[in-house]
Structure formats: C-alpha cells, structure tokens
Amino acid sequence: MQALTQIDTLWLLFCSSLLLLMQTGFVCLESGLIRSKNNINVVMKNLLDLCVAFLGYGFVGFSIMFLIGADSIFAIHPLVSEQPVFVFVVFVFQAMFCATTATIVSGAVAERMSFGGYAFITAIVATCIYPIVGSWVWGGVLGHPSSLNWLANIGFYDFAGSTVVHSVGGWVALAAILFIGPRLGRYDNDGQDIHPSSITFACLGSLLIWIGWIGFNGGSLLRFDDTVSKVITNTIMAGVSGLSAGLIYSYVKYGKPLVLPMVNGGLVGLISVTGSADLMLPYQAILFGLVGGLIPMPVYDWLNKHKIDDAIGAVPVHLAGGIYATFATAFVLTKTNDKSLIENLLIQGLGVIVVGIFVFGTTYLLLWLCSHFIHFRVNPEHELIGLNQSEHDLVGTNADMLTQLTNMIKQGGSTQKISVDKYSDSYQVAQQYNKIVDMFARQARKNEHDLEKALHFASHDDLSGLHNRFAFNQALNKESENLQRYGGTYCVAILDIDFFKKINDTYGHDVGDEAIQHVAQLLKKNVRTTDTLARIGGEEFAIIFPHIDLVVAFELLNKLKNIIQNTPLKASNNTNIPITLSGGITLMQQNEDPNQALKRADNGLYQAKNNGRNRIEICEESEESIA
C-alpha cells in the first residue's frame, strides 16, 4: 500500500473535487444537447449517479474491486473501519470514476428511459460491472493480491480509464439504447434531427468537463510528483488537437465550422491520452488527439444510418474513443515494457474484446431479464410531454402552455386564453397568443353577425321585413311534408293591396312603399305566432295557417282584411290613405304538390278582384265561392 505525503493527499482530494466539477459539466452538456422538456430529468439522473456511486459502489463495488483476496473485507473497508489515508483517498477518487461511468449512460438514453430503469442500470454499473472490470485492471492498487487482477498481470495498461471508465460506460450505453430503441419520431418517415435546447449550455458543459479532466488524468498518478505536469500538459494538448481535428472535419465535410464536431472531437482528444498520458511526450499526445478528433462524427453518422439513437453521442465519443485510446496506448508501451508493438496491440485488443463482451453481454442480459418487472422506457404519452413533467412533476411554463392548449383542443374552445406566471420567460409568448385569440374572437363575432345578416337578407324582404318568396316556399314545402306525414288541416292564403297602382301613380312610389310597410306591420301584428307571413312580390302577401280548418281560417283572414280597412295609412306627406285588401284562401290537400294549393289560393284572389275587391274568396277543387 502506497504511503502518501500531505501534498499527495491534498492533490488527490483536489483532483476528486475536479471530478465532481466534471459531473457538473456532464449535466450542462447533456441538458444542452437534449430538449428542454427533459433537462430536469438529466439533472436528477446525475444526482442519482452520485448517490449510487458513493453508496452502492462504496458498500459493494469497492470491495469487489479492491478487497477480494484480503483476509477480512470488513476489517479494511474504509466505510466501516479506520484505514490509512491512502485507502480513503482511493475510495473517494474511484467513487467519482464510477459516477462518471454511469453518467456516460445517462446521456445516451436521455428523453425516453424511465428514472427507475436508469436507477437499475446505475446500480448494476456501480455494484457489478465497473468494479469487476476495474478489478481486472486496477485491482492491485491497495496491495491485496487477487487473481481477478488478471488483465494487468498479462500487461494490459490503462492509466486513467480509457477502458475501465469510457469504454465500460460506452458499452453499457450501447446495450441500453439498443434495448429501449430510439426516441419517438427519430427515424420514422417524417423523422428528422432533434434540435438541442442550448448549444451554448452544451459548450459550457464541455469546458467544465475539460477542467475536470485535469483531475481525471492528473489524479490517476495517485501522488503529486514531477510527472503531474507532463500528464496535464499531454491532456490539454490532446484535447486541443482533438478540437482542431473536429474543426477540420467540419470544414471538409460540411463546408463550415459546426459546433458538435468540435465539441466531440475535443472530448475524444482527451480520451485519446487517458490510457497513457503518463507514458508519452506532448508531441505524441498531439498526434493521438488529432487522430481521435476525427473519430466521433463518422461513428455518429453510422449509428444514425442504422437507426441507433444516441441522444448526445456517448457511444461515438466514449466507446469509440475509449477503444481507440486503448489500442493507441500500445504505441507508447513498448518503451516501458519488454514486449513488442504487436504483442502490446494483441494484449490491448484482448482487453477491448473481453471487456466489450462482458459489459455489453451482462448489461443486455440483465435488461432483458428485468424488463418483465421494470419498465425501462416511459410510455409514448409521457415521452411526448417530457420527462420533467411525467417523471418529476415539474412543469415549465412551456409545458404548462402546451397542457392548456391541449385541454383547449379537447374541449373545443378556440377562444380560451393562456394563463402563465407574469414573470416567467413564456409570459410574452402567452400575451401575444392571447392577443391573437382576442383578434380571432372579434373576427368570429363579426363573421357571425355578417352571417346572420346574410341569412336574414336571404330569407326576408328588405322593404317589409317579412319572409320573402324563397323562405315562404321553404315553409310551404315543410308544412306540406308535415301534412303528408301526420295529417291535419293546413290552409294557405294570398292577399293583394287593392288599387296599389293608383296609390303609386297618385302619391308616388315612396308612399307606395309606405303602404306596403303599413300593411306588412298590421298583418304581422295580428297573425298567430304559428302562422307564416310573407311578401311574395309587389303588393302581394301570403299566409300559411297550420292546424286550422278552412272556415276558421277564412274568418281570421276576413278579420285581417277588416283591420287593414279600418286603419288608413298616415303617409309621410300628411295624407290619410284608405287601404283595402283582396284575398283568396284554400285548404291544402294531402298527396298534392303544395304549389297546386298556392295556385288555388291565387285563383281565389282573382275571384275576389272580379267580385269587386275588398273581399276574401275561398277556392276549393270544386271552385265553389263563399263570400
């Protein structure tokens, strides 16, 4: 077991703090690359990573990774017994490594994996997968002999986790996204790229991860000595080389500098030296980073071509980058061991294969076995509204507006307004929407009013305000149908103003119009509410009397005639003008065209005119008259 000076301890604890900052970077990176309706879910999953890493890994995983082979696990476990400083430092440092491994999975499965399902994956990473792979490579760090440390014993080398952290996280992520499938709409006929909510936030996260990587690689020496400066230099130079390679790739393929190729290229540049940053010189780190920076985007495109949905590119960056870094380590191992380049490549390749089979196979098998009682994917409705709301009951103002709009659609209310917090980011959007609602409401009221006017004009006479010929014919046909269906008695009458031409010629057309309006108002005032009164042309009026026999209808019509006769027109020229009416009335017959009844009523009117006017005549099929 390694003895630590105070500066060693301080350095390792500082590096552990930088790893915690790296977690913050992953939160920003992941939440920036996904849609805002799922960003709180990403934060919750990263908080969960810390919980499971320090508790699950602390009580179970740490023992598997370092203490198998010891005389008494509990006697030397840092959580249950007093231990040397080195053991506590290694525990904190490795717990942060474990949390980072789980966080890689978080981004890949974002926007569709349930929180409970993710908790299960994090648990198996912390208590099983990461500790076992870690024991194969780093199991002898605490000095306890263990046969599980077999990869390191045959010469496999991983300085700071290109395989143990990044490849392991990438393999778990690949198994998970293959098992749960792509996000809704990602690869259907109308599928398209899902746009990030904040590239700026993602770039900030990338820079925070860079800062954390100094602790990632610098702390992996487990001491503070002269090598630290070289490791940090190699880390930064590889990162900026990866950034440069991503920029070049972006220009060559897309013709412009795009953000994601640079961000991902920089991250793979950092991973490129994670397996061997202590063994190389800066120029080698630059070469490693340049090659690594070209890897993620082609892998990302290949995944999309095969409809494998990685929400943030975790597999192209961490899995592909980790595998590349593991093989690249062989090129700098030859000067530190007695093996040839081919031997080192074979050993490193064996590690890649064994770790890949174990991690991917174990993850996929456990997901399949546990899918019978754990729902790893949220239902489509929850995925659409976002995991912030469906998993954590956190409704942002945008989601609140969407919910209100959805309810409006269900209720069929297009004039309802949106209500949001006056001080929220969405208030101005809601305010403008409400103005549009008001505008449409005003237009709808105007359209409704215009429609009512149009319908009124279409069915009413403009001068008299009574129904017109069109509306009267519709009413006549309807009453005829009622007669055919239900029986009963219906009468129809036609009235005409006597000597109307003389009124026009004597007093002018304006007074003639007044005469029509005068008669119309008197008729309208004195007919029954069930009767249909219309002006059917010129000085002619027609009335339908439903549910009344011919004799009673005849009496009512005579009463109307007498009212007109006894109420002279007081014209606008201060002249009292007597007005009389002539009319014909008939009984509608079943199984006849209603126009035939109207024709008989017109014949009755003709008889009244011939018989001296100012009278009502009944016209029956026998054409008998009643005076």
Q: Which residues of 437-458 are buried (b: 16+ CB within 10 A; e: fewer)?
A: beeeeeeeeeeeeeeeeeeeee
What Rg, from alpha-carbon coordinates, does the chain have?
A: 46
Question: Which residue type occupies 246?
Answer: G
- Angle in degrees, CA 76, 218, 268, rounded to 5: 115
| Distance set, CA 158 to CA 17, 210, 215, 570 (Å) | 22, 19, 16, 114
Q: Can you tell me the distance from the alpha carbon of 166 to that of 352, in angstroms, rounded to the nearest whole number?
A: 11
Q: Can you tell me the distance from the alpha carbon of 521 to that of 540, in angstroms, rounded to the nearest whole number?
A: 14
**Closest listed residue to residue 52, CA positions, set 135, 115, 119, 101:** 119
Q: Can you tell me the distance from the alpha carbon of 123 to that of 140, in angstroms, rounded to the nearest whole number?
A: 24
Q: Can you tell me the distance from the alpha carbon of 62 to that of 141, in angstroms, rounded to the nearest whole number?
A: 12
**Which of the residues 111, 391, 514, 539 is marked catalytic?**
539
Query: Any residues with CB less than 8 A from the CB of 554 and at least 6 apart, and which?
Result: 585, 616, 618, 626
Query: Any residues with CB less than 8 A from the CB of 287 and at least 6 apart, and which?
Result: 241
391 is catalytic: no
State the Cα torsion 602-606-609-610 to the nearest 10°.
Answer: -160
3-state helix, strand, coil in the chain (%, to 5): 65, 5, 30
**Closest listed residue to residue 497, CA positions, set 608, 627, 620:** 608
**Closest listed residue to residue 488, CA positions, set 532, 543, 550, 534:** 550
Q: Can you tell me the distance from the alpha carbon of 222 to that of 555, in angstroms, rounded to the nearest whole number?
A: 118
DSSP H stretches of helix in 219-319: 227-254, 259-272, 282-292, 296-305, 314
Question: Which residue type occupies 559?
Answer: K
- 3-class DSSP state for residue 490? strand
Q: Which residue has the tokens 């920036």?
A: 32
Q: Are 236 and 218 in contact (CB under 8 A)?
A: no
Query: Any residues with CB less than 8 A from the CB of 558 and at least 6 apart, and which?
Result: 616
Task: Pull the structure tokens for residue 153.
Answer: 């014993």
Q: Per DSSP, what are the bridge partners of residue 533?
A: 543
Provide the annotated active-site residues: 539
